[in-house]
């Protein structure tokens, strides 16, 4: 068995880190962009808190949760949007942009496979977004906009569910991006799919506020397991006794979508044609 040189893994890790940190460096090295992100997040959180406190001003409990639970859910959902909405378009590194410019071919000519490159970018984006979300959470907790979990066990299960939810979300968004290999120019379709994903995952409002048929349909789709389930565990809407069942669903959806996206990467490679030298 061939042995690797002593400096092999440091080089590999350095390159992987360089790829993962592209989005973060793109904002950190441009102070106006950093300020704009902080200001936008602060305004979104302030308006969300005002909205849900206003909605619960004349009621005690609605859909099984009180005002503080609803506000906490809304705050966490707003922070989650920051985790999933890192802007790659400024650096022209979205799949759609590469398809339109024809530069997608370079993804398939590098020593690093496009699947691994995409995964590294996604991991870096989500870690960077998590830093913003954590900072926003601490500020909201300090001002009383969100409460801590009921116990350390709830926090542990929530973090595990959140991690699984990000895994599901990654493959859902990857499937949307891989559609570009077949539709080429699908800006409108991507926007519709992203809106649907946010709606059915509980970003705009908790799913239990929707009609029963809507909740039933969404239970057969992967979207709610990316966000609605973790946040429901956090605020106590899903009790710890029922949490293992939802965690199992998250694992099954994540594994199934992983197999599907792996197959789509293989199929997409057959559609890329390189002409010239």
pLDDT at 18: 81
Q: How far apart are CA 117 and CA 273, in angstroms?
A: 19
pLDDT at 101: 80
pLDDT at 46: 93
The string of DSSP letters for 215-233 reads HHHHTTSSGGGGTHHHHHH
Low-confidence ranges of the chain (pLDDT < 70): 1-9, 11-12, 90-91, 184-186, 273-277
CA dihedral (86, 92, 98, 103) in degrees, to 10, reads -140
pLDDT at 55: 83
pLDDT at 277: 41
Q: Name every residue whose Cβ is closer than 8 Å to that of residue 252 and which is 6 or more positions away in sequence.
A: none
130 neighbors 230 (Cβ within 8 angstroms): no
Helix ranges, 56-186 (H): 67-84, 95-101, 114-142, 152-178, 180-183
pLDDT at 7: 62
Helix or strand or coil: residue 62?
Answer: strand
Report how far apart, in Å, the C-alpha atoms of 135 and of each of 100, 129, 142, 147, 153 are: 36, 10, 11, 15, 22
């Amino acid at each position: 068995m061939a042995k690797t040189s002593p400096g092999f893994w440091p080089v590999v890790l350095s390159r992987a880190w360089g790829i993962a940190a592209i989005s973060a460096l793109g904002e950190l090295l441009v102070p106006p962009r950093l300020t704009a992100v902080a200001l936008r997040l602060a305004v979104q959180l302030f308006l969300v808190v005002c909205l849900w406190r206003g909605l619960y001003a004349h009621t005690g409990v609605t859909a099984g949760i009180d005002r503080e639970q609803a506000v906490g859910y809304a705050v966490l959902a707003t922070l989650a949007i920051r985790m999933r909405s890192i802007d790659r378009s400024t650096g022209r590194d979205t799949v759609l942009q590469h398809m339109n410019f024809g530069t997608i071919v370079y993804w398939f000519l590098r020593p690093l496979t496009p699947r691994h490159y995409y995964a590294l970018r996604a991991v870096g984006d989500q870690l960077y977004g998590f830093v913003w979300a954590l900072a926003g959470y601490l500020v909201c907790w300090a001002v009383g906009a969100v409460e801590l979990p009921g116990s350390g066990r709830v926090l542990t299960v929530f973090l595990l569910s959140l991690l699984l939810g990000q895994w599901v979300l990654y493959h859902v968004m990857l499937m949307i991006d891989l559609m570009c290999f077949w539709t080429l120019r699908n800006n409108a379709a991507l926007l519709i799919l992203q809106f649907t994903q946010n709606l059915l995952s509980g970003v705009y409002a908790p799913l239990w506020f929707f009609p029963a048929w809507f909740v039933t349909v969404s239970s057969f789709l992967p979207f709610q397991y990316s966000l609605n389930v973790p946040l429901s565990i956090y605020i106590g809407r899903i009790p710890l006794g029922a949490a293992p069942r939802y965690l199992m669903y998250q694992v099954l959806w994540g594994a199934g979508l992983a197999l599907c996206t792996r197959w789509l990467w293989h199929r997409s490679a057959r559609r890329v044609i390189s002409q010239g030298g």
